[in-house]
Structure 1
Amino acid sequence: MTTAGELRSGKGHKDENFPVASWIIHPRHRALILAFYNFVRTGDDVADHASLAPQDKLDKLDLLEAELLGKGDSQPEAVALRAAFAERAMSPKHAQDLLNAFRLDVTKLRYENWDELIHYCSLSAMPVGRFMLDVHGEDRSTWAASDAICAALQINNHLQDCGKDYLDLDRVYIPRDALAAAGATVEMLGEGHAPPALLKCLQDLARRTEALLNKGRSLPAQVKDTRLGLEIAVIDAFADRIVNLLKVRDPLSERVHLSKQQMLGVALSAMARALYQRATGQTPVVRHVSGA
């Protein structure tokens, strides 16, 4: 039997748009975070697999969940995460939420409105931030700001990859009502350049996403663990740069990702700023977002 891991795309934690278990995080947490990442990446790749039938995808996701919960030992990623959770006496709920997001990826190809999209983010993105906070023993009062940042990261990714998602998977996260309000259609996502109506829709959504980032602006200072605070500050800075690109560029024809060199520069600047804010008690600046 083919394991879920054998269906992996080849993408690893160093290929993401944000740091995963980077050197910033204390070494004692990295093994657990990487086990979580490998499990989640496996499930995501199963859901996105180009040739696997929908029911086969759902069966693989069900098997990953069953083995995460202790029912079998054929899926290495599930077995490894189960052991890592047991060592920390942690619940598998955040991983299970992500599996539910991947099931939606298989069964739901269109989103009607912003609320539906945020519900998807509550399964696909928010559990990642909550997991990281739980790993570090942070108070659950930090979850609201984390949820906002994680949702923004997810929607940034949807906007960056909107053309590819449509052409490769017939999957559209751009809400139907946002397309209609701008006079755009789903089919425009398959063009080489975004027509003006579609570009307006995408840039309006980018501004809404920037407003989400502002809701989470306080999180790096809220968390007690300095290393985690720095990691969050870096992720937030990456998201800021990307949303600023999405507000002015066409993701169908222009680059809306950061290069490795850009990521390094942004990371160093974000860490320096976060350390200064922690030392001085300075409040992070929340920018006004017009039209959000």
Structure 2
Amino acid sequence: MSVDHYENFPVASWLCPPALRPAVVALYHFARTADDLADEGDATPAERAQALRDYRADLAAVSAGRAPSPRWARVFTPLARELHRLQPALLHDLLDAFEQDLAPPRYRDRAQLLDYCRRSANPVGRLLLGLYGVADAASLRRSDAICSALQLINFWQDFSRDGPNGRLYVPQADLDRHGVPAEDVLACRDGPAARALVADLCAWARTLMRDGAPLALHLRGRAGWELRFVVQGGLLILDKIAAGGHDSLRRRPAVGARDFPRLLWRALTMRAAP
């Protein structure tokens, strides 16, 4: 699994069965293009909002068996061929999250932030499970836990990128508990209270990942191995944050090529929830 554009959207990799690659690639390009509409370029907020509305209209069109507009034909034409294996409602959930990011709210508590993860991250896991024919309640719950954990880890990794853009994903309840002003997080001001806050947030993400990790051992074949790397990659980011004294407000940790042997070993030796 590779990750691009600072988000946890999987691309068809050597672990993905060839029969599923067209659907996975179509899903990836759908999500990445929507991400670009919400984040990239010099468009005004109003122009971004309109573009996402138009994008949603094209999704509704192909879902109803109609032709998309020419603007994103390279996205929606291949997606239309794979929609019989995907769930359009989950694709609409992703667009809901991208639209919310245009004017990101302040999150009241962890439940409200997890509701954002339900739309921004969890649909990807559910869509991929659907491609593998997995639909039981326990697997879906574990997939949601993994995807939400990955989204949270992305937040705790990306303070230095989100802060300058005015995006704050730390719930107000956590800020209050640690006595850290929201403005300090947005300005990436490091300090003992801020590090204690980051440590608490990372522990939350690690607990979620542990709850979902058994899914990687339950799934057979390539899907299970791919998910092992996903789980261990997320946990490695948390380990890097911890190794830096939870200083991710001032330093962004990342997983690179040098980490692959460690990831491989962790995936090979994964026997139970980390």
Deviating above 3 A after TM superposition, structure 1's stretches of 4 or more consecutive aligned residues are 12-19, 190-193
How many residue pairs match? The answer is: 262
Write the distance in 2 (CA, Å) between the matches of 1:232 and 1:13.
13
Q: Does 1:37 align with 2:28?
A: yes
Q: Does 1:242 align with 2:237?
A: yes
Write the distance in 2 (CA, Å) between the matches of 1:13 and 1:230.
16
Of 185, 205, 210 in structure 2, the residue corresponding to residue 214 of structure 1 is 210
15 and 63 in structure 1: CA distance in 2 versus 1, 3 angstrom threshold: closer
Secondary structure at 2:102 match in 1: helix
Q: Does 1:84 align with 2:82?
A: yes
TM-score (norm 2): 0.88
99 and 236 in structure 1: CA distance in 2 versus 1, 3 angstrom threshold: same
Write the distance in 2 (CA, Å) between the matches of 1:193 and 1:131.
38
Correspondence list, 1:113-152, <5 A: 113-141=109-137, 142-152=139-149
Contact preservation (8 Å) 2:160, 2:250: no
Q: Does 1:58 align with 2:54?
A: no
Write the distance in 2 (CA, Å) between the matches of 1:254 and 1:204.
17
Q: What is the deviation of 1:56?
A: 1.6
Correspondence list, 1:219-230, <5 A: 219-223=215-219, 225-230=220-225
Correspondence list, 1:1-292, <5 A: 20-49=11-40, 51-70=42-61, 72-74=68-70, 75=72, 76-86=74-84, 88=85, 90-141=86-137, 142-167=139-164, 169-191=165-187, 193-223=189-219, 225-247=220-242, 248-262=245-259, 264-273=260-269, 277=271, 284-286=272-274
RMSD: 2.1
Q: What is the deviation of 1:105?
A: 0.7
Write the distance in 2 (CA, Å) between the matches of 1:246 and 1:41.
26
Write the distance in 2 (CA, Å) between the matches of 1:237 and 1:34.
23
240 and 48 in structure 1: CA distance in 2 versus 1, 3 angstrom threshold: same
Write the distance in 2 (CA, Å) between the matches of 1:17 and 1:40.
10
Q: Aligned letter for 2:142? A: A
Contact preservation (8 Å) 1:69, 1:82: no
Q: What is the deviation of 1:121?
A: 0.3
14 and 122 in structure 1: CA distance in 2 versus 1, 3 angstrom threshold: closer
14 and 101 in structure 1: CA distance in 2 versus 1, 3 angstrom threshold: closer
Write the distance in 1 (CA, Å) between the matches of 2:36 and 2:174.
28
Give structure 2 stretches of 5+ with no counterpart.
Answer: none
Q: What is the deviation of 1:261?
A: 2.3
Contact preservation (8 Å) 1:163, 1:189: no
114 and 50 in structure 1: CA distance in 2 versus 1, 3 angstrom threshold: farther
